[in-house]
Each structure stands twice: as structure tokens, then as C-alpha cells.
Amino acid sequence: MYKFYPYLFISLLVLVDLLIKYHSIENLLFGQPKPFIPFVDLLLIYNSGIAFGMFDLDQKIFSNIIFLIGILIVAYLASILRNEKNTLKIYSLAMIIAGALGNLIDRAPDGQVTDMFHLIVMDYSFFVFNPADAFISIGAVILITSEFFHKNENV
């Protein structure tokens, strides 16, 4: 039974991501910042690039290539997840997979993903991102950290 927990976790994170994106589309005005918490404004934008708007070239062919690469990455990570024994690595992989799936589902209809969290520090605009981007980033940091500090351990 416990083997299904990571897949339930993935489903939950994808659902959270898509619900926040839907809520943002329904309640925010495109391109109009709205204060949220210190250092973060809500700012609805769409991008055809990858995480944090990188490579946003607004070209359908590039977006389709990103979509196909995303599917391959999810399939590869899912194969690693299936065989992983370390709990920390399992859930970090699950976060990365969930983020990738959330963005793939969002990208499928029109080649763009919905972003809404605008990071601003000392009046400097860093980037606009969505929950899926955060899941991928946090999962990657945990995975990399676990490789350095928990080598050959089962947590």
C-alpha cells in the first residue's frame, strides 16, 4: 500500500498546481500586479518557455519541442521513481514529476503555461513562476542535497 503514496502525492501536487492556476486566471487581471506577501506579488502572465520564463520565444514549434521533451523527462523520472528505495529521493522525484506534469497539462491546450507569483527583492524583479516551477525547484534541491549528504542511506 505504501508504494502508492508517492503517486498520491504527485496527484495532490498536480491538483494544487492546476487549482491555483485556475484561480489565478479567474481572479487576476493579466499583467496587473497585486500585492500578496513581502517579496511576492501576484502577476498573471503566460509564457511559452521553460521554468521561470526562460526561452520564452513565443513560437509554437519551440513550445511543442518543450512539451515532447517534458513527456520524455517525466517518463524517465517515473522509471527512476519506480526503483528508488530512499524515501527522501522518492518524494523529491515525486515533486519534480508533479511539477513537470502540472506544467505539461497547462501547456497542452495553447503551448503556454500560466505564471502568477512575481518575486521582487528591493525593487528588483527576479522572475514570475507558478507552483509547478516551485515543486520542480524544491524537489531538485532536495534530490541534489540528498545525494551529497545521504549517500547510500535509506531514509
- Counting Cβ atoms within 10 Å, is residue 119 exposed (0-12), middle (13-18) or buried (19+)? middle
pLDDT at 153 over 60: no
Q: Has residue 68 been placed in a domain?
A: yes
Q: Has residue 42 been placed in a domain?
A: yes
> How far apart are alpha carbons 93 and 100 in whole angstroms?
11
Residue 40, pLDDT score: 95
What residues are annotated to the active site?
115, 133
User: What is the per-residue pLDDT across 44-69, written as a single tens digit (0 to 9) for each?
Assistant: 999 876 655 555 555 677 778 888 99
User: What is the per-residue pLDDT across 85-127, written as a single tens digit (0 to 9) for each?
Assistant: 999 999 999 999 999 999 999 999 998 999 999 999 988 988 8
Q: Has residue 155 been placed in a domain?
A: no
Q: Has residue 61 been placed in a domain?
A: yes
> How far apart are alpha carbons 39 and 37 in whole angstroms?
6
Mean pLDDT of the chain: 89
Q: How confident is the model at residue 155 (pLDDT cuts 50, 70, 90)?
A: very low
Q: How many domains does the chain divide into?
A: 1
Q: Has residue 37 been placed in a domain?
A: yes
Q: Which domain holds residue 46?
A: 2-149
